[in-house]
Structure 1
Amino acid sequence: MRIGIVFGTRPEIIKVAPVYLKAKEMEKDGIEADFICTGQHREMVDMMKGIFNVEADIDMNIMTANQTLNEVMYKVVRGFEELLKERHYDWIFVQGDTTTAMAAALAAFNRGVKVGHIEAGLRSGNLYDPFPEEMNRRVIDQVSEKMFAPTQRAKETLLKEGFDEKRIIVTGNTVIDAQMYVVNHFDLESVRKKIIDHENYFLVTLHRRENIGQRMRNILRALRKFSEKEGIEIVFPVHKNPKVRDIVYTELDGCKNAHLIEPVDYVELTALLKGARFVATDSGGIQEEAPTFGKFVVVCRKTTERPELIESGFGILAGTEEESVYAALNRAVRFVPGTLKNPFGDGYASERILSSVLR
C-alpha cells in the first residue's frame, strides 16, 4: 500500500512527522510512504526537518513572496496533478485546515485517490473565523474516505453533519505524539534556560490574520497591563509577519517585562511551554499542546474549534477585548490543574491512523 503524507507549514509538519515516522516503522506491514512537502511556509518547514530527523521525499517548493491564497491553491493543485500522474498512491493523507491540505485533498479526490484527513471534525461554527481555515477543513472532510477525528467531540460533530460513522475513527491528536517524541529526545529544561533562566513568565503567541489590527492591539494592551501589575514576565516569540511585528513592537514598546524574541523552533517552543505558568495565544496547536504539561490557556479569539480545551477546564475563551482578556489572565494565574485529564490524546494517534487503513 502506497501513501503520500502531505505537509507545507510548520504546524502541519509537527503533526504529520510522527505519522511518517510510524509509517517507516510499519514498512514490514506493507506500507510504503512518501513525505510530500509543498513548501507553503518555506523557512518554517526547513527549520522543522532537523528536529524529527526526516527529509521530504518530494519537495514541490511552491513558495514565492506575497502570493495570495488562490495562487497557493493553484500551485498545489497543479503540482499534485503532475505528481499523481507519476506515482500511483492508494492514499493521500492531509492534516488540519491549511490551503495546502485543502488543495492537495481536492486534487487527490479528483484523480480518484482516497483521502485521509488527520484532525477531522474541528469546527468554529463561523465560516469566516478563522479564515480561511474553517472553510478548508469543511471541504477536506467532504472529500475524505476516512476522517481521523482527534476527539469524541470531533466525531460527534461529523455525525451531526451527516457523515457515515464507518468513515470516522477517533485516534487522538498526533500533536501529542510529537510532544512525546520531543520530551524523549531533548533536555527541555536546558533548552528553556538558554532563552529565559526562570519560570516566572507566561508564554504568548499571536499571529492569526483575523486578529491583525485593533483586536491584536486590545490583546497586547491587556497582556502589558497584567504583566506590569502582577510582576509576571512575558516571553513572546514574535511572528515574522510584518503587520504582526509592527503592532507588537508598538504596543509593547518600553515594557521591561516583555521578552520579545525571534520565532523559535518546536523544541524551544515546547521547552517554553513546559516552563511557563500559563499561555495566552490565538494558536490552535498550542491549545492542544498546553494540557500535556498541565498549563492553562487564555484563548485570545472570539471562537475556537477546540471546545474540548474549554470543557476540560484547561482554558478560557477570552475574546479580543482588552477587558475580557485581562479578566481571563487573572483567572489563568490562579489555575491549579489537579487531576484534570488531557482531552487531546495519549501519544498513540499515528499508530491508530495507519492501522485503520491496513484493515
Structure 2
Amino acid sequence: MNKKIMVVFGTRPEAIKMCPLVLELKKRKEIQLTVCVTGQHKEMLYEVLERFGVVPDYDIDIMIPNQTLFDITTRILERLRPVLEEEQPDLVLVHGDTSTAFCAALACFYLQIPIGHVEAGLRTYNMKSPYPEEFNRQAVGLLADIHFAPTEQAKHQLVAEGKKPDRIYVTGNTGLDALRLTVSDDYCHPVLTWVGNSRLILLTAHRRENSGEPFKRIFQAVLHLTQTFPDVKIIYPMHRNPKIRKLAIEILGESSQIKLMEPMNPYDFQNIMARSYLILTDSGGIQEEAPSLGKPVLVMRDTTERPEGVKAGTLKLTGTEETAIYNSACELLKDTKAYQRMARAVNPYGDGYACQRIADILCNEI
C-alpha cells in the first residue's frame, strides 16, 4: 500500500526549499502525495509554485491584510483541520521555523498524525532572536516524530534535547537542491545590464526583530558603502512590509548605485545571487545557498541558527550596528585575501541532493 504523505507550507522561503522535495516525492511510486499550502505569503508563494511547476491540492488561503501572529495561528488551525481529517495522511511534512510549520505541526499533534520536520535542529536558544522563528522550530521539534537535520551539528542539538537518535536523519539542506534546478549559465536580466562591470552587492533585509532602528542602521551602512566604493552597485529586492519599504526609499532611494526592486521569483533571485560579489542579509536560507555559489555572506543579525557556516568561514555575523556592517563589508571589498578565504570555504550544508535522501528514507526506512 502506498504511503499517504502530505506536505504543508505557506511562505516563499518554505516553498523554495519544499518544492524540490515535492518534485522528488512525486517521482516515487511508493508515495501518494498531497500538497497543502496555507497562503501565509500569497503572491510571493504562488510565484515560487509557478516557477517549480507545483500545483497544490489544497490552498487554505489564510492571508489577510496586516495579519498578525494571532491571525495566522488561529486561521491555520481552523482551516487545516478539515483538510487533515479528510485526507488522513500517514505523515505530514513541515519545514523549518515558520508559523505555518508550527501551526500545522500543532494541528497534526491534536489529530495524532505523525509529523516529519524538514530542516530540523537549527537553534539559537534565544526565543527573541530570531522572533518568532526560534520558538516555532523548537516547538515543531517537540511535536515531530521524524527529524530531517541538514547537518551533524543540527543532529547533535536534537540528541542533546532528548530526541531519539534513530529518528534523526542527516540529509543536507533542500535549499541547495533548489539551486541545482534554478541557476543557469546563460541567465540574463535587465538589472545585470545596469550593474555592468561593477561589483554587485545583493542586499536582503526583512527580519521582524530588526524593525525600526536596526533597519535604519543597516540602510545607512549600505548607503555609506556606495559613497566609499564607486565601483559597487547594490540591488535590494524590498520586502512587502510597508514600513520597511518606506524607510528603504527614504534612505536609499536617491542613490544612483542602488536599485530598489520588487521581490524576485526564485529563478531570478538565485541567478542574480550567483552573479553577486557579496551578500548582505538578515535572512536564513541565503546563509546556506550563497556559500554553495562561492559568495561570502555578512549576516546582519546578533545570532544565527546556522553556526556551521560561521565556523566554516562562509558566514560572518556583523550585528546591526552601522559601523560593524560597514567595516566588515569594507574589508571584503578591499582585501582580496580576506574575500577569497570566505569565497573558497567549504559549504557545510550539503551537496544539493537532500531531497533524494529524504525521499529514500520515506520510502525505505519509515
* TM-score in same-fold range (> 0.5): yes
**Cα-to-partner distance string for 1:139-161 (whole Å, 9 max, x where unaligned):** 00011111110111111111121
2:17 corresponds, among 15, 18, 41, to: 15
1:9 and 1:198 mapped to 2: Cα distance?
34
Identify the residue that residue 213 of structure 2 maps to in structure 1. Answer: 214
> How far has the Cα of 1:247 moved from its partner?
1.1
1:352 aligns to 2:354 (yes or no):
no
Q: Structure 1: how far apart are the matches of 2:105 and 2:183?
A: 32
2:291–2:343 contact (8 Å) kept in structure 1: no
Q: Following the alignment from structure 1 to structure 2, what is the Cα–Cα distance between the partners of residues 298 and 357?
A: 36
Structure 2 CA distance, aligned partners of 1:283 and 1:41? 16
**Structure 1: which 5+ residue stretches go unaligned?**
none
Aligned to 1:127: 127
Aligned 8 A contact 1:7 1:38 in 2? yes
- Confirm whether residue 201 of structure 1 aligns to residue 200 of structure 2: yes
2-structure distance, mates of 1:42, 1:63: 7
Q: Distance in 2 between matches of 1:31 and 1:111?
A: 21
Identical-pair percentage: 39
Q: Is the 8 A contact 1:148 1:168 kept in 2?
A: yes
Alpha-carbon distance, 1:332 to partner: 2.8
Residue deviations 1:281-300 (CA, integer Å, cap 9, x gap): 10111111101110000101
What is the distance in 1 between the residues matched to 2:18 and 2:278?
26
RMSD over aligned Cα atoms? 1.5
Equivalent residue, structure 2, for 1:180: 180
Are 2:198 and 2:233, in contact at CA under 8 Å, matched by a contact in 1? no
- In the alignment, the residues of structure 2 paired with residue 191 and residue 110 of structure 1 have an alpha-carbon distance, to the nearest angstrom, of 49
Q: CA deviation at 1:189?
A: 4.1
Q: Name the SS of the counterpart of 2:285 in structure 1.
A: helix
Counterpart residue identity of residue 23, structure 1: L
Q: Which shifted more, 167-176 or 329-338?
A: 329-338
Instruction: Give the SS at the match of 1:4.
Output: strand
Amino acid at match of 1:247: L
Partner of 1:226 in structure 2? 225
Q: 1:32 to 1:319 in 2, by over 3 A?
A: same
Q: Secondary structure at the match of 2:330?
A: helix
Q: Which residue of 2 aligns with 1:235?
A: 235
- 1:181-210 CA distances to partner (integer Å, 9 max, x unpaired)? 1126x8434576366444522000101111
SS across alignment from 2:183: helix
- The question of whether the paired residues in 1 share the 8 Å contact of 2:221 and 2:323 is answered with yes
DSSP-derived class of the 2:179 partner: helix
Instruction: Give, in whole Å, the separation in 2 of the partners of 1:274 and 1:191.
Output: 15
CA distance 1:208–1:225, change in 2 (3 Å): same
Q: 1:125-148 CA distances to partner (integer Å, 9 max, x unpaired)? A: 210111110000000001111111
Q: Does 1:308 align with 2:313?
A: no
Alignment equivalent of 1:24, drawn from 11, 26, 46: 26
Contact 1:188 1:267 in 2 (8 A): no
**How far did 1:115 drift?**
0.3
Distance 2:218 2:344 in 1: 30
Q: CA deviation at 1:80?
A: 2.0
Structure 2: where are the runs of 5+ without partners? none
For residues 26-67 of structure 1, give each alpha carbon's deviation from its aligned partner in whole angstroms, at most 9, with x where no partner exists: 1x2x10111111111111111112211111111111111122
Paired residues of 1:3 and 1:34 also in contact (CA < 8 A): yes
Aligned residue for 1:284, secondary structure, equals coil
**1:219-268 alpha-carbon deviations (Å, 9 max, x no partner):** 11111112210221111111111010111111114222111111111111
Q: Is 1:343 matched with 2:348? A: yes
Q: Contact 1:188–1:270 at 8 Å: present in 2 too?
A: no
Across the two proteins, how many residue pairs are aligned to each other? Answer: 356
8 Å contact 1:204–1:279 — kept in the other structure? yes
Residue 6 of structure 1 corresponds to 8
Partner of 1:89: 89
Change (3 A) 1:6 1:218: same
Aligned residue identity for 1:290: A
Kindly provide the amino acid, as one letter, of the partner of residue 159 in structure 2.
Answer: L
- Within-5 A mapping of 1:259-278: 259-278=259-278
In the alignment, the residues of structure 2 paired with residue 143 and residue 343 of structure 1 have an alpha-carbon distance, to the nearest angstrom, of 27
**TM-score in terms of structure 2 length:** 0.94
**1:342/1:192 Cα in 2 relative to 1: closer, same or farther (>3 Å)?**
farther
Deviates more, 1:340-349 or 1:166-175: 340-349
Matched, 1:106 2:111: no
2-structure distance, mates of 1:78, 1:254: 45
Q: Which residue of structure 2 lines up, in the alignment, with residue 73 of structure 1?
A: 73
The answer as to 2:141 corresponding to 1:141 is yes
User: How many angstroms does 1:84 deviate by?
Assistant: 1.6
Q: Partner letter of residue 143 of structure 2?
A: V
